[in-house]
C-alpha cells in the first residue's frame, strides 16, 4: 500500500470528516466576516475531534459557483488562515485540504505552509465535464510542485470519476483508477456516488482493489451508520460530510453525537 497513506493512518482504516467552510471573501455568498467563517470551522472541528474522528479535510464548499481550476489568491489566504486556526486545536489529527473545484497547487501550497498532511484532488488525471466546464487533470504539475515545495510528505488523495461530473471519452472506472494511481502517482484513490451524500457502489471499490491491491481506496460519499460496516469491510477508509451534520443536512454544523455513532458503527 501507499507509504504516505499508511504512515498517515497506521494500523487502522480512517474515518475522515469534512469541514465545509462557509463562503470565503470574494465568493458570491460571502457575508463580510472571516471571524464568523473561522468560528463555524472551529465549532465543527471541536465536534469532529470530540466525536473521535481520525482525520479532517477542509474545503471551500461555500464558494460556489467554483472556478474550474485556479482560485484567487485571497481564497488561498483565507483557507490558510482557517487551517492554522483548526490545527491549533486538533493536536495529532491529520488535516487535509481540498480547494474546489480542482486547484491542486493551491491545496499543496496551503498544506505545505500549514504543515498539513494531505490534499484531495477531484481530477488528478484525465478530464471530466462538470457544471464548471472541463476539469483537467494536472498530475504532471502537482507532483513537480510538491517537490518544489519540499512537501513530499503531503499525501495526494485523488478522486476517480469524481461526483458531480462525467468523464470525457469512453474510459471505464478501473482504467481511470489505474492511470490515476500508477501513472498519476496518487497516494490513495477516492470513489464516490453521483453527488454529495449519495451512496457509493461498493462493487466499484472491489473492482478497483482487485486490480490494484496495493492502492488504498476510500469511499467518498454516502457512508452512514447503516452502510459503515459493509463499507469498511471492503474500503480502506471513508471521507464523510453530510452524515455527520445535524439532521443529516450538508450545510448544517457537525453533530458530535453523529460522529460518535458512525465511529461506533465502523468498529462493529
| Bridge partners, 218 (sequence order) | 190
Who's near 144: CB < 8 A, 6+ residues apart?
none
Angstrom distance (rounded) from CA 113 to CA 267: 34
Going from N- to C-terminal start, the domains of the chain cover 13-267
**Domain 13-267 bears CATH identifier 3.50.50.60:** no
pLDDT along the chain (268 residues), means of 10: 84 94 97 97 98 97 96 98 97 96 98 98 95 95 98 97 85 93 97 79 95 96 93 96 95 97 90
- Residue 12: per-residue pLDDT: 87
DSSP calls for 150-177:
T-TTSEEEEESS-TTEEESSS--HHHHH
Give the side-chain half-sphere CA count within 13 A for 1: 19
Q: Answer whether 0.75 is exceeded by the pTM.
A: yes
| Bridge partners, 155 (sequence order) | 118
- Residue 197: per-residue pLDDT: 65
* Residue given cell 455568498 in the structure block: 29
CA distances from 59 to 56, 104, 157, 232, 241 (A): 10, 12, 14, 24, 11
Amino acid at each position: 500500500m501507499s507509504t504516505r497513506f499508511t504512515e498517515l493512518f497506521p494500523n487502522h482504516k480512517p474515518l475522515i470528516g469534512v469541514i465545509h467552510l462557509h463562503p470565503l471573501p470574494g465568493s458570491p455568498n460571502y457575508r463580510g466576516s472571516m471571524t464568523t467563517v473561522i468560528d463555524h470551522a472551529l465549532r465543527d472541528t471541536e465536534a469532529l475531534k470530540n466525536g473521535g474522528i481520525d482525520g479532517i479535510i477542509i474545503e471551500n464548499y461555500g464558494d460556489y459557483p467554483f472556478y474550474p481550476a485556479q482560485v484567487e489568491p485571497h481564497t488561498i489566504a483565507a483557507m490558510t488562515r482557517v487551517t492554522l486556526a483548526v490545527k491549533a486545536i486538533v493536536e495529532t489529527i491529520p488535516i487535509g485540504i481540498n480547494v474546489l473545484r480542482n486547484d491542486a497547487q493551491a491545496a499543496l501550497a496551503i498544506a505545505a505552509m500549514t504543515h498539513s498532511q494531505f490534499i484531495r484532488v477531484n481530477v488528478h488525471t484525465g478530464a471530466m465535464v462538470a457544471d464548471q466546464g472541463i476539469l483537467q487533470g494536472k498530475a504532471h504539475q502537482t507532483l513537480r510542485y510538491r517537490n518544489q515545495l519540499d512537501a513530499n510528505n503531503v499525501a495526494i488523495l485523488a478522486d476517480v470519476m469524481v461526483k458531480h461530473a462525467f468523464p470525457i471519452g469512453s474510459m471505464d472506472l478501473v482504467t481511470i483508477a489505474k492511470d490515476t494511481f500508477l501513472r498519476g502517482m496518487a497516494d490513495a484513490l477516492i470513489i464516490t456516488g453521483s453527488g454529495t451524500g449519495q451512496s457509493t457502489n461498493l462493487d466499484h471499490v472491489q473492482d478497483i482493489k482487485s486490480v490494484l491491491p496495493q492502492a488504498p481506496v476510500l469511499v467518498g460519499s454516502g457512508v452512514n451508520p447503516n452502510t459503515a460496516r459493509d463499507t469498511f469491510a471492503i474500503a480502506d477508509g471513508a471521507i464523510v460530510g453530510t452524515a455527520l451534520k445535524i439532521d443529516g443536512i450538508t450545510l448544517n454544523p457537525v453533530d458530535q453525537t453523529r460522529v460518535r455513532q458512525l465511529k461506533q458503527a465502523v468498529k462493529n
